[in-house]
Amino acid sequence: MQWTKRDMGVYVGSKEFIDTAIIPILPFQLSQESNLSKSTSKREVLSIFATEIEKELSGRVLLIPNYYYLEYGDKLEEAKRLNSWNEEIQKQPFEHVFILTFDSGWKRFEKDLQANLLWVPGFQADDPNSDEMRQMIRGQVSDVVELIRSYW
């Protein structure tokens, strides 16, 4: 399910089946020009990644709208905000909340997060729509899907 009018209509009707939420968190920065391509490709690939996971498990997973944070900002502050997102999500009967990121910096703050951190090693893509890239994303998606299923 995605955060769209149509999907949320379905969600309200079959709440009991949808118990997992995924928040994709994406870094944003403009200060370090040399890292711009890295930051942007992270964003593009993670968006595709999240959508693909949602497609595989759409009947049980709600994909929360993207959460943006400053790449070089204070992660502790962001963790607090993420926890308030988590609390908001928990107002509905969600049993599992995952935070999806390519940013290894979050690993250190895992204990400060209430939700499960799903850190996936990122990869840079020149063209996220190329065939090799698609194969690679598909491979990783099925691994992450397995991981999520192990929580169910």
Instruction: Look up residue 113 and give its amino acid.
Output: L
From the list 67, 69, 65, 66, the residue with the least C-alpha distance to 27 is: 69
* Residue 62 makes contact with other proteins by CB under 8 A: no
Task: Report how far residue 120's alpha carbon sits from residue 56's, in angstroms, rounded to the nearest whole number.
Answer: 17
Q: Which stretch binds other proteins (CB under 8 A): 31-39, 50-58, 65-73, 87-95?
A: 50-58
* Residue 17 makes contact with other proteins by CB under 8 A: yes
Nearest approach in angstroms of CB 85 to other proteins is 23
Closest to other proteins by CB, 136 or 145: 145
23, burial (CB in 10 Å: exposed 0-12, middle 13-18, buried 19+): buried
Closest to other proteins by CB, 84 or 135: 135
Of residues 85-144, which lie at the interface with other proteins (CB under 8 A)? 129, 134, 138
Matching residue, tokens 């290894």:
104
Kindly report the length of the chain.
152
Closest to other proteins by CB, 7 or 112: 7
Instruction: Look up residue 109 and give its amino acid.
Output: F
Which of 25, 46, 50, 57 lies at the binding interface for other proteins (CB under 8 A)?
A: 57
